[in-house]
Amino acid sequence: MARAFLGEMELLILLAVTRLGDDAYGVPIARELLNLAGRDVAVGSIYAALDRLEQKNFVTSALGEPTAARGGRAKRYFHVTPSGLRAIIGTRAALTRMWNGIALPEGAGL
Amino acid sequence: MNERKPPRLAIWTLQHGLLRDNEALTGDLIERFKSGQSPVWFWKQVYIAVLLGLWTEIRRHWPHFAYAFAGITFPQLFWKAVDGLPGALHWWALPWPWSQIALEVIRKLAFALMALPVLAVGLTIRREFDWRALFRTALLNLTLITMYKYLLDYLLDVPGLSHQVNSHLVAFTFPSVFLVAVPFCSFLVSAWMGCRSLTPPIRRRA
């Protein structure tokens, strides 16, 4: 099977979905990205990334019940699949290997 | 509960903006709007979502766009060969209605079929090749191109003017972009409808 790679935004969204567990839909995912990663991402961009992740079989989605607070629209809940989890772990391992041995200059602003 | 209402036109745009899954996205935007976001924010989100939806559609249906592009390019490249087809078939020697068909339909048929190999290759690359889809596309395109040509003739065939003057009238009345855009859309719509397959609906959570 060909290896599927994660872009930065895809990785952040996968992590947000993993963190949120059963409550992972558009609004909380956007909130997690803003609060934890400092990224103010358009909701449409989040869905575009989630669609790509679903095509790669890294997440699955299911519609909830429509609610009046959302103008009668349902929430679309996302779950990370085992292959999605493997992709996250693989990306973290690759990043850790790449970071090993890098000495940042003093005052790099980090 | 907050009773603020999001801009109606923005909701309408979102629902008709080429997006596949707009129910959840619309709901999310309404939820965030009711929690204090501004109408400008709402419109910005809709604008981004529609553009992304359009781009997704182009990526998803790239064989259709390649077919449409080939459809408007190939006739320019092979114009002379196509133009001589009725003559090559000796249309004047054929019995009616074949003479009429050879004269009227054969060029349009050639245009409709010319770009079909591009669509076939695209569908094969995507492992979606289907003879029926190609047949439906060619038939739809032939119908649309014929309608377009006759509509143009009907609208601009001003009685008492020569063919040359009428041609100038067409060029004057309709900008070139229109004369390219309409056949492009005709190819695109034909491929879109001809190759349409049902996408599985998103299941509801139990």
* Closest-CA distance of chain B to residue A71, Å: 6
Angle at B54 between CA B49 and CA B59, to 5 degrees: 125
- Residue A30 belongs to domain spanning: 8-97
Q: A21: which DSSP letter?
A: G
Strands, E assignment, chain A = 59-63, 76-80
**Domain CATH code at residue A84:** 1.10.10.10
A80: helix, strand or coil: strand
Q: Which chain B residue's Cα is nearest to A50?
A: B21
Considering chain A, what is the average pLDDT of its residues? 90
This model of the complex carries an ipTM of 0.88
Helix or strand (DSSP H, E) at B47: helix B39-60
- Domain count of the fold of chain A: 1
Does any domain span residue A59? Answer: yes
In this complex, do A73 and B56 lie within 8 Å of one another by their Cβ atoms? no
For testing contact with chain B, the best of A27, A70, A79 (most B CBs within 10 A): A70
Give yes or no for a contact between B145 and B186, defined as CB atoms under 8 angstroms apart. yes
pLDDT digits (tens, 9 = 90+) for A9-25: 999 999 999 999 999 99
Distance (Å, whole) CA A47 – CA B50: 12
* Nearest residue, CB atoms, B23 vs list A45, A68, A73: A73
Cα distances from A77 to residues A3, A13, A17, B27, in angstroms, run 26, 13, 9, 12
Going from N- to C-terminal start, the domains of chain B cover: 8-59, 61-194
pLDDT by 10s per residue, chain B, length 206: 557 888 999 998 888 775 566 889 999 999 999 998 999 999 999 999 988 888 888 888 899 999 999 988 887 888 777 778 777 777 778 887 888 777 777 877 887 788 899 999 998 998 888 888 899 998 998 888 888 878 877 777 666 666 677 667 766 766 677 778 888 888 999 998 888 764 455 566 65
Task: Enumerate residues 6+ apart whose C-beta is below 8 A from B126.
Answer: B63
Does any domain span residue A19? Answer: yes
Task: Enumerate residues 6+ apart whose C-beta is below 8 A from A88.
Answer: A6, A11, A14, A15, A18, A80
Query: How many contacts does A have with B, using Cβ atoms within 8 A?
Result: 88
Does any domain span residue A22? Answer: yes
Q: Which chain A residue's Cα is nearest to B204?
A: A63
* Closest-CA distance of chain A to residue B47, Å: 9
The distance from CA B174 to its chain's CA centroid, rounded to whole angstroms, is 19
